[in-house]
Each structure stands twice: as C-alpha cells, then as structure tokens.
Structure 1
Amino acid sequence: MTGLGELIAPRRLGRDFRWLMSAAWTSNIGDGIALAASPLLIASMTSSPILVASGAMLQYLPWLLFGLHAGAIADRVERRMLAMLAHGIRTVVVLGLVVFLLTGTANIAIVLAVSFLYGTAEVFADTTSSTLLPMMVKPADLGVGNARLQAGFLVANQLAGPPLGAFLFAVGTFWPFLTQVLAVSLALVLISRIARQPVPGRAPGSPGRVAEPVEASHVAHEIAEGVQWAWANKPVRTLIIIILVFNVFWAAPWGILVLYATEHLHMGAVGFGALTTASALGGLVATLSFGALERHVSFATLMKVCLSLEVVMHLSFALTTNGVVALVIMFGFGAYAFVWGTISTTVRQRLVPHSLQGRVGSVNMVGVFGGMVIGQALGGVIAQAWGLTAPWWFAFAGAAITLAVMWRQIPNIAAAKSVLETESSEDQG
C-alpha cells in the first residue's frame, strides 16, 4: 500500500497535497454522478434541444458573471476557507433539489435554477481550489500535481460517476443528487484538513511565511490588474484565446450530447453514461503514459497533436451513426483531452506569479466557460434548426479554422519562461 500511495501522491508533494487531491477526487465523484443524472432529469421533463442545452449553459453562465470577482477574492482572502464555504453552499443547493424531487414539486424551471445556483458556487470552489496547488508544491512538480488531480477528475467525474449517476437515476430521480450531497460534504471536510494558507499577495514566496498586512484595494481594481496582466503576457493571452475559441466549438455539440446519444445513436440512458466512461478510460491510459510523454515529447508538439485530434474527433462524431464507434471515438477524446488539460494548466500556472494566480486563473476560466456558454447556446439553436449532427459539423469547421490560424503561436506558449521558478530562486536566496 505504501508503494501504491507513493505512486499516486509522491511524498515530496506533501501532506496538504494529499488532502487537496482527496477532496478533489471526492467532489468529482458527486459531480460525475450529476454529469449523467442532470441532463437525464432535464430530458425527462422536456425534449427541446434548447432547454436541454440550457441546463448545462446555466451552470456555466456564472463564470461570465462572477468568474473575475471569484479570482480577485481568492487573491485577497484565505483560500482554504473560501473553498470550504463554496462547497458548503453547493451542498445546500443540491439538498434543496432533493427536497423538491422527494415532494414531487420539481419542474424544469426549478431544475434550471438549481443549475445556475450550483454553478455560481462552483465558480468560487474551482477558482480557489486551482490556486492552492502552486502554493503547495514546487514549480517543477506542478505537472505531476496537475496530472494527479486530472486523474481524479477522470476516474471520479468521468469514469465512475456517470454510469453510477445513470444507474441511480433509474432507481429513483432523487438518489443521484442525494449521493452528490454526501460526496461534496465529504470534500468540504477533507479541505478543512489542509493547513492554513497565507494570503498570497501579502506574503510572496514561501507558503509558510507569515502574512504581512497591506492596504486594502477595491475589488474592481484588483480584477483590472489581473485582466491587464493576462492581456499583456502574450503566451498567457494566446493560450486563453485558444481555449476560449476551441470551447465554443467543443460545447456546441456537447450541450445536446444526451439527445445525440439517446435519439441519434439510440444508446439509451446507460449508453449515454457509457460515453463519458469511455472518455475517462482514454484519460486513464493517458495518465499512465503522461510521465513518459513529458520526458520525451515537447509540450509544443503535444499541444499541436491534441488540438489536431480535436478537429478529427468532431468530424468523426458528425459522420458516425453507430454507438460502438462513438464509444471508440470518445475513448480517444479522453486520452488527448487529459494531456491537453494537464499541459495547458501547468504552462499557465508556471507563467503566473503567486499573487496573481487567482485572478489570472479566473480570466482563463472565464474564457473556458464563456466559450462553453456561447457554444451550448449555439448548439441548441443549430440542433433545433438542422438536426442533432449539425453541431458536430459546426464544431469541425470552426476548430479546423482556429487551429490553422493559431498553429505558429503554440511553440511560443510552451517555450515561455517560468515565473514561479524565478520566485522560488529569489526566496531561496
């Protein structure tokens, strides 16, 4: 067991990282259950592609409304406590949905409202949690740390959660959401075990240094500072633009995936859950090989390969009518998506000072989820007008054009100098 524990979470990453990883994995189990159960619940109430897409869109819309504020707040308060508060609010929101389902009073309006409220709390939870890792581990270990967190996302959110969510939904509509409440509550307890962290902007450098008081500034000014820094740093700016645009095209078909799986591929509710499971299995294969990939293949090459495979994936889904083929495609998607997510997060974290991790991270997440909101809104309308495969054709064309435009910029992003390495050297000096 000691060897397995060392493999999963190397001792050099520290005890706090193990608490963070455990909390992330546990929370992802609950979110993975809802990943299948939520669209199934909405689809059981309406067959409208626009309303089905709205369920996911409303969960991501808060990133556009509150994402930048979440980043600024994460940079000025004790991040562990903010993460705990956000998880607590998520627990209460889902528990409310369980009550509505048990009393038979749930309707499409309530479900969509819950999606929005849950998404709002998730903005603060995810923004804050993403800033904790760079404070816990050395810059050289960020790749390993992010890979372990991504592995938990794949196993819990994508592999174990969705089929369990689909099964629990078949047993009773409230069971998956009650299970989600328990998982998120446990994640809150695990985060509470992390050692108290200093406010980053007040004590640059070592996470163990005692925070020093600074003059208070307006949140709007701090948001502007983060946005300006991200825009002025060309590698970070280009990476955010790539993520934003690609997510617009990726999310267009993803918002109506439940209808695509059940009505176009005729896979049923369990088959829909199996699609995300196939994605997770692909990600697990990539997890096992990521260390070797990082040692032998440059980040620039890996980023180009991943984005190219994204284009191919959209085309493949547009053409297939076979559920088995769709599962194979989704397996490949999970493999390259894991590699892309780990690399893009690691590159960004290395380029951003500790004091700006929350704000620049939130700018990135606004790009991520802003693209998803736009894409899901477009996907619902496109599917309503031209059919369930039309969003895949839209995604294929858009992603191909974007990749051609951005191709030469990718090496510059991967080769940019790490700011965290410089900060660590100064602290040691």
Structure 2
Amino acid sequence: MAMNSSFGRAYQRLWAANALSAVGTGMTTAALPLLASIKPPSELLLGTIAAAGLLPGVLLAVPAGLVADRYDRGRVLVVADLGRAVVVAAAAIALLLGSLPGFVLAAITFLIGAGETVFITASQSAIPSFVAADQLDDANGRLQAADDVGREFVGPPLGSLIFRLATWIPFVADAVSYLVSAVLLLRLPRTPPAPVTELHQRPTMAPAWAYFRSSRTLVVLGGAMFTLSLCGSAVLAMLVLLVRN
C-alpha cells in the first residue's frame, strides 16, 4: 500500500505506528488461544478469552472517546502503546519463568483490548488534525486498512509461526512493536483538546450516551456490530481446538 506523500509527515508517522502495533496485536491474538488450548478445560478457557477480548470494545469505546477529546491524542496514543507493552512484556517474562494461569490469559486479553480500544479511538480522532478536509476519506481508509491487514492477516500467521519456536516469543515481538510505535508517535504534533462547552465542563459520558440513544442509526449499527463480534468470537474461539484435533 503506497503512502501518498501529500498526507504529510505527521500522518505518515500515525499510519506507520498503527500498522506496526496492529501486527504486534495480531501476533498476541494468535498466541493467547494457542496457550489456552493446552490448558484443561480448554473449551471453557477459550470461550472466556473470547469474551475478554470482546468486552473492552463494549465497555470502553465511549470512555476512550472522552479521553481522546480531553487530552492530547499523541500522548494518549503513546500511553496506550506503553501500557500494552508492559502487559505483554510481563506475560513474556512469566512464560520464560514458568507458565500463565488461565485467568491471567483472560486478563491479558482484556488489558490488550482496552489499550487497543483507546489507541484506535485516539488514532481516528487525530486524523483531522494531520490531513486536509478533502483527504479525510482516503486517510481514514488507509489507516483502517493498515489496522485490518496487520491485525487480521499479517500478525496472526506470524505469531502462530514463532509460537512454535517458543511460547514467549510472540509476546516479546508484540512488546517491541508497541515500543517502536510509541517512539514514532512521540514526534507527533500536539493536538488541541475539543472545545469545552458549558454542557461538557465536567468529564462525563452522559452526553455521549444520550446522543447514541437518540440516533436510531447508531443504535442499529451498534447492535449489529456487537452481534457480529459476539458470534464471530464464539466461532473463532473453537477453531483452535478443531485445528489441533
């Protein structure tokens, strides 16, 4: 995917950081179910991990938007990267020293998903600060494509491959991807927070939820996406067992 130089250096850094961290997330996403599949009862644990991966998007999407509006998005992105790096690095160390209990695998999945929710929300919110208005559609599409390709098509097979070498390697590789992404993002220009109106003087999610409930389109889309994610996660969680058997 060729990068149009007219987007500017800031957007190019944002795009590269997203692509890199998405590959890392994909590697860990593949490694966690593989770890769970060798622990009894693996079916229950795989289902728990699938649910843990789904929850952050449901619970934290609106708070993540609030954070992205209130603070400099570049700094939010860096914090999200560093937080995820700490989580997966700790997992790698634990695997080097022994093993990870099932509930810890679910907790790791949730924490990575929480960081990813904040990261993606802040990334999308930052785009208008770095490109012209007539470039927004193209810029959004390229960023989404980089995330999807890295997280769904590049990271998982790569993570599965290096998992065979040692169970901790995908987590180390993921931590490195987050750290390099954070370095790229440190040099982003500062983005001003959204204007604070009288309605939004206090950090509350009530206006966001009220707007969501008032829009039939958003409610239908949100319900459809949740249903698709729930069913997809349930099916994909069992694929590891089918492949192993």
Q: Same fold (TM over 0.5)?
A: yes
Cα shift readout 1:326-350 (whole Å, capped 9, x = no counterpart): xxxxxxxxxxxxxxxxxxxxxxxxx
Q: How does 1:365-384 map to 2 (within 5 A)?
A: none
| CA–CA distance in structure 2, aligned partners of residues 82 and 92 of structure 1 | 15
Q: Which of 76, 94, 99 in structure 2 is aligned with 1:100?
A: 94
d(CA) in 2 for partners of 1:191, 1:93: 19
Among 208, 214, 227, the residue aligned to 1:226: 208
Give the drift of 1:101: 0.5
Distance in structure 2 (CA, Å) of the matches to 1:23 and 1:113: 25
What is the deviation of 1:250? Answer: 4.4
Change (3 A) 1:239 1:214: closer
CA contact (8 A) 2:37 2:240 kept: no
Residue 198 (structure 2) pairs with residue 197 (structure 1): no
Using structure 1 for the length normalisation, give the TM-score: 0.53
- Answer yes or no: is the 8 Å Cα contact 1:9–1:18 preserved in 2: yes
Give a deviation string over 1:261-283, Cα, whole Å, max 9, x none.
642xxx449xxxxxxxxxxxxxx
In the alignment, the residues of structure 1 paired with residue 233 and residue 116 of structure 2 have an alpha-carbon distance, to the nearest angstrom, of: 20
| CA distance in structure 2 between the partners assigned to 1:27 and 1:245 by the alignment | 27
1:331-388 per-position Cα deviation (integer Å, ceiling 9, x unaligned):
xxxxxxxxxxxxxxxxxxxxxxxxxxxxxxxxxxxxxxxxxxxxxxxxxxxxxxxxxx
What value does the CA root-mean-square deviation take over the aligned residues?
Answer: 2.5
Higher relative contact order (CA 8 A, sep 6+): 2
What letter corresponds to residue 114 of structure 1 in structure 2? I
User: Which of these two proteins has the greater Rg computed from alpha carbons?
Assistant: 1
Where does 1:109-124 land on structure 2 (aligned, <5 Å)?
109-124=103-118
Match in the other structure for 2:61: 67
Match of 1:257 among 221, 231, 236: 236
Shift of 1:69: 2.1
* Structure 1 residue 137 displacement after superposition: 2.1
In the alignment, the residues of structure 1 paired with residue 57 and residue 145 of structure 2 have an alpha-carbon distance, to the nearest angstrom, of 24
Answer with 112-121 or 77-86: which moved more.
112-121
Identity of aligned residues (%): 27
1:180 has 2:174 as partner: yes
Question: Where do residues 407-422 of structure 1 align in structure 2 (5 Å cutoff)?
Answer: none
Matching of residues 120-159 of structure 1 within 5 Å: 120-159=114-153
Aligned partner letter, 1:57: A
Q: Distance in 1 between matches of 2:112 and 2:3?
A: 30
Distance 1:215 1:226 in 2: 11
Cα distance in 2 for partners of 1:39, 1:83 equals 26
Note closer, same or farther for the CA distance 1:49–1:253 as it changes in structure 2 (3 Å cut): farther
Structure-2-length-normalised TM-score: 0.89
Structure 1 residues 255 and 190 mapped into 2: Cα distance closer, same or farther (>3 Å)?
farther
After TM superposition, give the deviation of residue 185 of structure 1 in Å: 0.8
> Residues of 2 paired with 1:257 and 1:16: CA distance?
36
Q: Give the match's secondary structure for 1:196.
A: coil
For residue 62 of structure 1, what is the amino acid of its counterpart?
A: P
Report the CA distance between 1:253 and its aligned residue: 4.0
The correspondence of residues 239-318 of structure 1 with structure 2, limited to 5 A, is 239-260=218-239, 262-263=241-242, 267-268=243-244
Question: Residue 212 of structure 2 contacts residue 218 of structure 2 at CA under 8 Å; is this kept in 1?
Answer: no
Q: Take 1:186 and 1:33, find their aligned partners in 2: how far apart are those partners?
A: 15
State whether residues 8 and 148 of structure 1, in contact with CA within 8 Å, keep that contact through their aligned partners in structure 2: no
8 Å CA contact retained: 2:72, 2:193:
yes
Paired residues, number: 245
Structure 1: gaps of 5 or more residues: 1-6, 203-212, 270-429
Q: 1:258 to 1:117 in 2, by over 3 A?
A: closer
**Which residue identity does 2:144 align to in structure 1?**
Q
Unaligned 5+ runs, structure 2: none
Distance 1:197 1:30 in 2: 26
1:81 CA drift (Å): 0.7
- How far off is 1:117 after superposition? 2.3
1:199, distance to aligned residue in structure 2 (A): 1.4
In the TM superposition, what are the counterparts of 1:314-353 in structure 2 within 5 Å? none
- Residue 72 of structure 2 corresponds to residue 90 of structure 1: no
Counterpart secondary structure, 2:195:
helix
Contact 2:34 2:240 in 1 (8 A): no
